[in-house]
């Protein structure tokens, strides 16, 4: 796997610029699958939660941020603030009765299930 932080930053820019195209969504899903397979650091834990948030899986992203492995409960202030900010964004999205965000799915997986 490529270095996660610069790769993730490039994926976010592509996702936002392309307004999200099928190709950028597939790349985010590739990153998601890679991060789920490995033992993650705090930074990779944040990237996984942010990826899930971008793809519309708010509950799963919230679960990851609130897990024991996340640094919300640690002593590093800067990292804690970053995690709490994302958690607040997710909570705000979950509080609306009607969801306005689009939930994306991996179209490659859907095509293989269709066959």
Q: pLDDT tens, 30-72?
A: 989 998 898 888 788 888 988 988 888 888 888 888 875 555 5
Angle 107-114/22-37 helices, nearest 10 degrees? Answer: 90
Predicted local distance difference test score (pLDDT) of residue 8:
87
Domain ranges of the chain: 4-96
Predicted local distance difference test score (pLDDT) of residue 110:
60
Q: Which residues contact 35 (CB under 8 A, 6 or more apart)?
A: 4, 44, 47, 48, 51
């Amino acid at each position: 796997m490529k270095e996660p932080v610069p790769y993730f930053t490039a994926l976010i820019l592509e996702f936002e610029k392309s307004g999200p195209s099928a190709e950028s969504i597939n790349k985010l899903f590739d990153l998601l699958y890679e991060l789920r397979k490995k033992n993650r650091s705090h930074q990779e834990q944040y990237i996984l939660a942010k990826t899930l948030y971008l793809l519309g899986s708010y509950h799963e992203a919230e679960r990851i941020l609130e897990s024991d492995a996340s640094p919300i409960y640690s002593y590093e202030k800067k990292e804690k603030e970053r995690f709490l900010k994302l958690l607040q964004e997710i909570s705000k999205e979950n509080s609306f009765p009607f969801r306005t965000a689009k939930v994306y799915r991996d179209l490659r997986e859907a095509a293989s299930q269709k066959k």
